[in-house]
Structure 1
Amino acid sequence: MSQAPLVLVDGSSYLYRAFHALPPLTTSKGLPTGAVKGVLNMLKSLRKQYPDSLFAVVFDAKGGTFRDEMFAEYKANRPSMPDDLRVQIEPLHASVRALGYPLLCVEGVEADDVIGTLARSSAAAGRPVIISTGDKDMAQLVDGHITLVNTMTGSVLDVAGVHEKFGVGPEHIIDFLALMGDKVDNIPGVPGVGEKTAVGLLTGIGGGLSDLYQNLDKVPALAIRGAKTLPAKLEEHRDAAFLSYELATIKIDVPLDVEVEALVCGEPDRDALLALYTEMEFKSWIDEVQRDAKRAGQDVAVQAPQEVVEAQYETILDQARFDAWLEKLRQARLFAFDTETTGLDAQQAQLVGVSFAVQAHEGAYVPLTHSYMGVPEQLDRDSVLLALKPLLEDPAKVKVAQNAKYDMNILANCAIGGDFANGIQMQGVAYDTMLESYVLDSTATRHDMDSLALKYLNHTTIGFTDIAGKGAKQLTFDQITLEQAGPYAAEDADVTLRLHQTLQQKLALIPSLQAVLSDIEMPLVPVLAKIERQGALVDAKLLGVQSVELGEKMLELERQAFEIAGEEFNLGSPKQLGVILYDKLGMPVLNKTAKGQASTAEAVLAELADMDFPLPKVLMQYRSLSKLKSTYTDRLPEQINPRTGRIHTSYHQAVAATGRLSSSDPNLQNIPIRTAEGRRIRQAFVAAPGYQLLAADYSQIELRIMAHLAQDEGLLHAFRNDLDVHRATAAEVFGVELEQVTTDQRRSAKAINFGLIYGMSAFGLAKQIGVDRKQSQAYIDRYFARYPGVLAYMERTRAQAAEQGYVETLFGRRLYLPEINAKNPALRKGAERTAINAPMQGTAADIIKRAMVAVDNWLTASGLDARVILQVHDELVLEVREDLVEQVREQIRPHMSGAAQLDVPLLVEVGVGANWDEAH
């Protein structure tokens, strides 16, 4: 009878793959559980297939490994682990152990190395081994005793299977990986050598990496693409190739505290499983555990949920009750207020009802325009609004809301008596729970009410889809019965009040954050609301002409692509494109998708274009024009508000971690301005008759903030004397006189100046300015020698961030850095880069916000016929009456430059034109 195989499961591989491949799953409290369920399903299935086998589930341990010490940038390209995945690791580990499966995590090495060591030692003893993984690197372990099984795809790889899949046998997989490199793990490899070239080199020479480098003279004769130029490229990147070989080699001699024979599955811990499955709400598995326990004669029970306070909510349908609540609001020191509407667009949604709360666990909803069949009689809409108007417009009556800007816009657009000029101008909103959470910790959670209630109150709110349904049949709020709408709306006000009480206590402990909220974020709310309502005028006809022209250019590019490919294909199909690029034209495969397909992503096309392949260049142009057409020239005319004739973007204060504003519907932050086609989009944003557009833009604000923070004499001197800072940097770095700096030197200096702000490495800078890594590092070293204050600032900031766990802007805004002390070097270095950049980017965000408030106050007080219509990056765009342009041009500068006091001037550049492009 044959021996049962040892089964080794690559738990880390499956955790990531389950997270990305399976639909997201969360509990009623918002806890993500999809990856846990996916991996446990796979383990249970695998265990059924091999019931008599020794068994181990192996995970990566926390912290770095010997590979990080070998190559500091190993896995540096990997993004930080998503929070929704991170929170699933411990529950998964606990569940694996509770199921009785041996679980291994060994510090200093990866799961691959643990698996490799166990697999090879078992194979050497004659025991068959099954490695369950989706990782291609494991193919190097395959031999007559070791087989790979991918339970997510059903594939099995033995020796023949490896050869069929990769084109080389298991004995040359490491050589294959060393030549190709690995984008995911940031193993460098040899640039330009893809899958086909690597196979051609190894099979053509008939050996591994060492054999190849001993026979470079034979490479030009090989029948592979670019064979004549390959020897020079291989020689140039010899060190990288052999480093990659070491990085890709799985260790098979890891000292382990466990013997193979000890990897026996034990009995499940049903009490632990039941607690875990209950927390993760795996209902069918809870039943399964209870059934198994009953059969085994055990007694287990699900824990009862904690008792919650019963809320008292009221739906107001008669005048007496409304009057009573109105008096409550008048007497209250503070009350929470919320609106219910027919949609999310604050410029077009209709008011359906209002809700308020004065004390925790109590709330009231006043329905106004519910319109389903059989709806009870509601109070008169205009009468209710007129009664509330004095309260809502009283700046002395303190209010709190969740996303108050939306409510402000709804009320301002709410025509009373059919007159839009008679809308409610809400004042006195001193607190916004969305912004309280955002200022407290921008990265701790999402800042919507449902997420905040779960995090800070341990309360699961009534979901909108619970009462309105989903998809095409989803009801608008006016169609929802009062029995359901009342508790939902009253809860919104109640939870807002309770959140404020909790969050305000936390903010009060940190005066600097309290000041950011009260001095920057809250004053900005009504300003943004006003800008959104004002909107921007767009020339729909001009956009239509641009759409036609873009379409014609796309057709021409499509014809060029067909000519290069030698056949017609769908440029929008990754599958068809992959066949053309890699199978037909033989381009190197630089990266693969999660499903193992050769990638055709933008970054890959850019790299192929850099290698002078013509088709990727054409495809990138095509994609760029297609994005402009679909996102802007086709879409913007559809977004013109029929009542105002303008486009009204929505600004978001609580999205970007650093404090930057973002916008949506449309997103005006991402209109490309480096291309003529992108700039033409801005030409469609026009001034109304009798007006001009004025664009006021901070010049090089983040570099100026860097000079202030670093107190570097060289940078301070350049800005104080109004020098071209990039030219000054070029003179210092390249050791030439200021007037001798060439255009290319200035361009490289600009890349260095901005690159260092964003923590760019020598590797990244080399790629950007087209030099080798050694030269790039020399430029950086010379820069720091010339600007020692910058280096000192960076080192000081890293140390402070590591010590306190956050960095601050000049105004006290914090960005917390949970990975600043991570043992994993890639995660730690990423956090360090953020630590250096965030004070600059965050301070720039604070300054433009303060400037917006200052400019709005000035325009309001002066009564000038001018108004802000757009905010993008470091720029304000105003619509100004023609005869006031010069006055506004001169007066806006001091209001913007005075938004912060730095040790260098804050320079504001102002342009004027009939459209945004002219003014910019």
Structure 2
Amino acid sequence: MTLTHKPVGPGSHVFLVDGSSFVFRAYFQSIRQDAKYNYRSDRLPTGAVRLFCTKLLQFVREGAAGAKPTHLAIIFDKSEKSFRKDIYPDYKAHRTEPPEDLVPQFPLMRAAVRAFGLTPIEQDMYEADDLIATYAAQARKKGADVLIVSADKDLMQLVGPGVIMYDPASGTAGAKGSREERLITEAEVVDYFGVPPNKVVDVQALAGDSTDNVPGAKGIGVKTAAQLIHEYGDLDTLLEKAPGIKQPKRREALTDPEAVKLIRLSKQLVELVRDAPLETKLEDLGLHQPDAKKLIAFLQAMEFTTITRRVGELYGVDVHEVEPDPDFVGAAGWRARNGEVSDAPRPAPTRTAEPEAAKAAAAFAPSTLAAARKAAALASKIDRSTYETVLSPARLDEWIADAFAAGVVALDTETTSLDPMSCELVGVSLALEPGRACYIPLQHREAGDGDLFGGAELVAGQMPLETALDRLKPLFEDDATLKVAHNMKYDLLVLARYGVTVAPIEDTMLISYALDAGRNNHGLDELAQKHLGHQNLTFGEVAGTGRNFKGFARVPLDRATEYAAEDADVALRLWRALKPRLAAEQKTAVYETLERPMVETLARMERRGITIDRHMLSRLSGEFAQDMARLEAEIFDLAGEAFNLGSPKQLGDILFGKMGLPGAKKTATGAWSTSASVLEDLASEGNDFSRRILDWRQLSKLKSTYADALPGFVNKETGRVHTCYSLASTTTGRLSSSEPNLQNIPVRNEAGRKIRKAFVASPGHVLISADYSQIELRLLAHIADIPQLRQAFADDIDIHAMTASEMFGVPVAGMPPEVRRRAKAINFGIIYGISAFGLANQLSIPREEAGAYIKRYFERFPGIRDYMDATKKIVREKMCVTTIFGRALHFPRMASANPSDRAFYERAAINAPIQGAAADIIRRAMTRMDAALAEAGLAAQMLLQVHDELVFEAPRAQAEETIAVARRVMEQAPLPAVDLSVPLKVDARAAHDWDEAH
């Protein structure tokens, strides 16, 4: 719909889009989506442009708020230079610089507007808001209705008869984590500012605006300003009668000559110009049909497949007959229209209609930006004395308003314990830019009598918890404001218990993990030291340790502010320093598809929890105790004396001193080693004493860790057990769990399965276990490209029988179980780099025979040996290997001078891409599962993840439907990123308890 001259009058609908604001909103929405949509194939950021084009197409085709535009203007700020700078040089002086990967998209936005046949409206000396105000005034004078597309509070002064604002929010009304679109009428303005639109300027002049550096009146916020304007009518009357105000501070703020001068200056800064000399006339904003081919050519060059296809369908154009616009096509490595990648350079552009966009694309260098951010992070020192303790609702409102304006806020919660499902919220910290952070204490208590978390009086001056959360909730749930935290899952869980949802999010712990898994730990203190050169205050320094522990609720407010605000400040700095590395090191997809979505997924799972049968666990504890007593008597009989089975020293003396068994090893302390591997080696050689010790140890662990301990993990509020999943705890991407640890319950022996029986479904429900079948072997077949294995999986035949037949020449039909067992041990052992010694122990055969098996295996499947050799070479050279989904797994200790260390890490590197890919696949399944179940209309919920298994709870009547959805999502999880050459298979069953379902 190109612009053309078209009269404006009654019945006209003039749409005025605040392009500058829209750009930022599109950007922050784009970074929450699948990373593959946010970059062109040459890594030029285009995610915001894509969403901008999508919304622009909606405006020109469908309109908004129940109206279709007859006239449309996309209005931008041309530069920071405006007449306001002339009257107040510090105006907007504190604005933070835009995100690095948004900068090259600014000129592309304007190019997109032109591609739609529209003219980007921008003028020297005037801001976009002034042009919007002028167009709105002219349109109303001619009797037209005006829709201002923006959520900017500064434009609310324009709302009135025939003029409303439209906030498109996320564009996905009702979506999880999004805010629905809304209209801003006079009622909404009154709700926001406390005054009608014609009084907004007076309120803003008094309250000022820290984001734009508008000074206002000292100590007066929006609510106080609204009260004053209500009482006195307008700003001039207020200033005239200010000497009679009773409150001394307020009177001084409104009567001091210099203060009054700043207030009147502030009014000049916030009041919009309604008669700017427009370079493009209102009548020239009329809409007609666009040049569809020109639009498609631009969208093709941007690689926007979906919207390109939609435009072609809408306007009846075959997109395959339209070449990408050469002005916006890169020089090399570009993805052609048929989806193939060519390494040959493309012809140079034949024209330069948009030189700014071309220049921005060419200049974008993620590695340069990342280096610059790193240098800036190290240069900006942290000063805890600058942090603010926020005690009043009015001051909190100002911080929140500034956070809305900034579009990014870092947060952290302080609590009474590390259990997010039972702790109490003590306070919340915010950071808006490096060095600008605050702490909002909510439930700090006086030192003295009472328990650690209650009993004592609340410290005076704090806001009531409900008051603060009522104000913070809209900010934390605002779809256009990005929330940054370190280990965000904890904060999500804590705030969810208070009815607050946090979205959209960024997690600096996971950004670090996506970049440096295996290189270092990812705790906030360690990363602050590593990337910022700063030593954080430790929790123990402020809350005490050991006998001196007092808990954070008893920490004085000034000290609590230093600690809590520092955490938010550091998280924000780390985000600024580390985020650019994702693009520079091509790890954006890993973070945005495998890491960040897991935060909300796991938080939901942890909140759900699972039911346990306490009576069954009590019975098991008694059974285990009896079995341990029996084993203990047998062990003492074999030893010829009683001793402390829990003492490694006494056991070592019995094994290697008294009994003189072979395989003795000394620990660093000089004592005999009685580790599990030592005992297993002895047991594999037929030593019954060692076997009984191992059995006793396992029963002891099951009794203490599960049978006795699990009832203590039942949450008093929910009656369920809520495990905690750790995302950044392994090199390969596998999850771990704690409090309680559900990953280590043995499933290959009867005792471990009895523990699983104690995990049960709630009444009327069943538990469903969905488990990937032989996923690592399937991935080995794909990654190492083993034809025999790929064919076997494709034909769904017994892989272990097939291997035995290939190796030993034994027909599959009637194969002895022992032969298949040996093939199975080799299949799984090869993945973990098993040695002849290890296989010999596992199969209880001579080492020479085990070595012959391994040799024959590699002869039958040479691709596996090739894969292993190639992986060793890669890890030696790069100290890193990569999964098929792009996850980097670092092995820095490959540089060790110790040959045995290097050999160990080589073996680990062989398995890492396989185990890592399996972890990536189940993550992809998990992040899609809740939506798939909801879309199918099922009430089932995903409760647990254990290695390659997902556990669900579903109404009994929906069991089969749930299994079908779970199986489909899990088997299709690699798509579309990776199309495996072998099919994935998921075994799933429903039953009352976990063991029976598995």
Q: TM-score, normalised by structure 1?
A: 0.64
Deviation readout 1:63-114 (Å, 9 max, x if unpaired):
xxxxxxxxxxxxxxxxxxxxxxxxxxxxxxxxxxxxxxxxxxxxxxxxxxxx
2:466 to 359, 379, 382: 382
Corresponding residue of 1:562 = 636
**Amino acid paired to 2:478:** D
Task: Say if 2:543 is the partner of 1:468.
Answer: yes
CA distance in 2, matches of 1:364, 1:469: 22
Offset, 1:836: 1.6
Cα distance, 1:309 vs structure 2: 4.8
Amino acid of the structure 2 residue aligned with 1:501: R
Amino acid at match of 2:556: T
Q: Could you tell me which amino acid in structure 2 is paired with residue 469 of structure 1?
A: G
Report the CA distance shift for 1:705/1:610 in structure 2 as closer, same or farther (over 3 A): closer
- Which of these residues, 472, 486, 507, is aligned with residue 432 of structure 1? 507
TM superposition shift of 1:782: 1.6
Aligned AA (1:902)? L
CA distance in 2, matches of 1:686, 1:321: 49
CA distance in 2, matches of 1:593, 1:310: 47
Equivalent residue, structure 2, for 1:502:
577
Q: Which residue of 1 aligns with 2:606?
A: 532
Aligned to 2:517: 442
Superposed, 1:225-624 pairs within 5 Å as 308-311=381-384, 312-373=386-447, 375-414=459-498, 423-429=499-505, 431-511=506-586, 513-588=587-662, 590-624=664-698
How many angstroms apart in 2 are the aligned matches of 1:629 and 1:722? Answer: 40
Is the counterpart of residue 699 in structure 1 residue 773 in structure 2? yes
Q: CA deviation at 1:861?
A: 3.5
Per-residue CA deviation, residues 496-515 of structure 1 (Å, 9 max, x unaligned), is 0001111112222022x111
SS at match of 2:582: helix
How many angstroms does 1:308 deviate by?
A: 4.3
- Picking from 753, 767, 788, the partner of 1:679 is 753
State the shift of 1:589 in Å: 6.0
- Encode CA deviations 1:211-248: one digit per residue, 9 max, x unaligned: xxxxxxxxxxxxxxxxxxxxxxxxxxxxxxxxxxxxxx
CA contact (8 A) 1:714 1:786 kept: no
Q: Distance in 1 between matches of 2:393 and 2:467?
A: 10
Deviations 1:427-479, CA, capped at 9 Å, x for gaps: 111x1010011110111211110011001101000111111110143122111
- Structure 1 residues 6-45: aligned runs within 5 Å: none
2:830 is aligned to 756
Q: Could you tell me how far apart the structure 2 residues matched to 1:601 and 1:470 are? A: 32
Deviations 1:286-316 (A, max 9, x none): xxxxxxxxxxxxxxxxxxx999453420001
Aligned residue pairs total 606
How far is the alpha carbon of 1:426 from its aligned partner?
1.6
Mapped to 1, the partners of 2:382 and 2:597 lie a distance apart of 35
- Partner of residue 839, structure 1: 913
- The residue type paired with residue 437 of structure 1 is S
CA deviation profile, 1:503-550 (whole Å, cap 9, x unmatched)? 112222022x11110112111110100000100100011000000111
Q: Which amino acid aligns with 2:585?
A: I
Shift of 1:823: 5.7
Whether contact under 8 Å (2:437, 2:569) holds in the other structure is yes
- How well do the aligned residues superpose, as a CA RMSD in angstroms? 1.8
Task: Find the aligned partners of 2:793 and 2:645 in 1 and give their Cα distance.
Answer: 48
State yes or no: 1:666 paired with 2:740: yes
Instruction: Evaluate the alpha carbon distance shift between residue 825 and residue 586 of structure 1 in structure 2; reply closer, same or farther with a 3 A threshold.
Output: closer
| Kept in 1: contact 2:443–2:459 (CA 8 A) | no
Q: Does 1:911 align with 2:989?
A: yes
1:495 maps to a residue whose letter is V
Amino acid at match of 1:556: R
Would the aligned equivalents of 1:589 and 1:599 in 2 still touch at CA under 8 Å? Answer: no
Partner of 2:946: 872
Q: 1:218 maps to what in 2?
A: none
Contact 1:355–1:493 at 8 Å: present in 2 too? yes
Q: How far, CA to CA, are the matches of 1:763 and 1:567 in structure 2?
A: 33
CA distance in 1, matches of 2:479, 2:627: 55
Paired letter, 1:461: N
Matched residue type, 1:394: D
Aligned-pair CA distance for 1:674: 1.3
Shift of 1:760: 1.4
Asked if the contact 1:342/1:350 (under 8 Å) is kept, the reply is yes
CA offset at residue 918 of structure 1?
A: 0.6
- Give the Cα separation in 1 of the matches to 2:424 and 2:500: 14
2: CA distance between counterparts of 1:427 and 1:363? 20
C-alpha deviations, 1:5-37, integer Å up to 9, x for none? xxxxxxxxxxxxxxxxxxxxxxxxxxxxxxxxx
What is the CA distance between 1:622 and its match in structure 2? 1.2
* 2:684–2:844 contact (8 Å) kept in structure 1: no
Cα 1:602–1:363 change in 2 (3 A) is same
Deviation sequence 1:615-665 (CA, Å, 0-9, x none) = 222222211111110000000011111111110000001001000011001
CA distance in structure 2 between the aligned counterparts of 1:308 and 1:495, rounded to whole angstroms: 11
Deviation track 1:25-61 (CA, whole Å, cap 9, x = no partner) reads xxxxxxxxxxxxxxxxxxxxxxxxxxxxxxxxxxxxx
Aligned: 1:902 with 2:980: yes
CA distance in 1, matches of 2:442, 2:726: 28
Alpha carbons of structure 1 residues 482 and 903: separation in structure 2 relative to 1, 3 Å: same
SS at match of 2:854: helix
Q: How far apart in 2 are the matches of 1:553 and 1:772?
A: 33
Alignment of 1:119-198 (within 5 A): none
Any runs of at least 4 consecutive aligned residues in structure 1 with deviations exceeding 6 A, and if so which?
Answer: none
Task: Mark the runs of 5 or more structure 1 residues left unpaired by the alignment.
Answer: 1-304, 415-422
Q: Retained in 1: the 8 A contact 2:653–2:672?
A: no
Q: What's the offset of the Cα at 1:803? A: 3.6
Distance 1:586 1:803 in 2: 45
Answer yes or no: is the 8 Å Cα contact 2:492–2:501 preserved in 1: yes
Q: Deviations over 1:168-218 (max 9, x none)?
A: xxxxxxxxxxxxxxxxxxxxxxxxxxxxxxxxxxxxxxxxxxxxxxxxxxx
> CA, structure 1 residues 411+894, in 2 after alignment: closer, same or farther (shift >3 Å)?
same
2:812 counterpart residue number: 738
Task: Report the CA distance shift for 1:561/1:830 in structure 2 as closer, same or farther (over 3 A).
Answer: closer
Among candidates 797, 807, 813, match of residue 881 of structure 2 = 807
Quick check: 2:831–2:910 contact (8 Å CA) kept in 1?
A: yes
Once the two structures are superposed, what CA deviation does each residue of 1:320-379 show, in whole Å capped at 9, x if it has no partner?
221210111111121101111111001011101111101001210000111115833101
Structure 2 distance, partners of 1:401, 1:483, is 22
TM-score normalised over the length of structure 2: 0.59
- What SS does the aligned partner of 2:433 have? coil
Distance in 1 (CA, whole Å) between partners of 2:883 and 2:425 is: 39
Q: Which has the larger radius of gyration?
A: 2
